[in-house]
Amino acid sequence: MTVAPQIDLLDRKFDMCFGHADQNNDGVVDAADILTFAARVIAAVGEPFDSPKATGMLRACQNWWEGMVAELDTDKDGKIDPQEYRVGMRRIVGSPSAFDAASRPVAEAIWKLCDRDDDGEVTAVEFSAVQLAFGTTPENARLGFEKLDLDNDGTLSVEELMIAFRDFYTSTDVNDNGNWLFGADFQVA
């Protein structure tokens, strides 16, 4: 196991995710950014916006936002800046139960969107469609899928996705498979 300086590695991960959330690139995350992100994921997989999966994703992201702004918005301006995000995420990832409570509904909603044929399994092709919403290249999505498929059965379960979320946000091991959540884009040189 190769352990990087914890603060530097986690801050890099938090910064990357902050960038995913800041949809209009104005340097802060607000409710509009989160709903835009949800819409981008829904559109990336071609899901109708009035479907149960789409409304579930929108609801999960709305709830996630409400929890995050209550927890991280220390100046109470209705926005989260990069420093608030870093400090708040360090606090959240320090509590496994708080992290799971905050992230599981969004992970499950994303997983359901990925599972295009509703067979209870997410294939590499299905995973790749959602990864496009994160700006991940098809090659990086393929590499990420291979690393996240922990049982090598050719599919991702919601539990494998939760492990990836948890490891990405909490692990200081640069070789952890969870660092592949967004493909090779995050790999440490």
- Measured CA to CA, the distance from residue 69 to residue 28 in angstroms comes to 12
CATH, range 6-183: 1.10.238.10
Predicted confidence (pLDDT) per residue in 142-162, tens digit: 999 999 999 999 999 988 988
What's the pLDDT band for 188 if we cut at 50, 70, 90?
very low
Q: What is the mean pLDDT of the chain?
A: 89
User: How confident is the model over 20-30, as pLDDT tens digits?
Assistant: 899 999 999 99
Global confidence as pTM: 0.86
Q: Does residue 1 register a pLDDT over 60?
A: no
Residue 94 has a pLDDT of: 87
Distance CA 110, CA 21 (A): 15
Is 182 in contact with 140 (CB distance < 8 Å)? yes
- Sorted by where each begins, the domain ranges of the chain are 6-183
User: Residues 37, 16, 175, CA angle at the centre, nearest 5°?
Assistant: 125
Task: Tell me which residue has tokens 């100046």.
Answer: 75
> Could you tell me the pLDDT band of residue 6, with boundaries at 50, 70 and 90?
low
Q: For residue 118, what are its two tokens?
A: 């509703």
Taking only the tens place, the pLDDT of each residue in 107-132 is 899 989 999 999 988 999 999 988 88
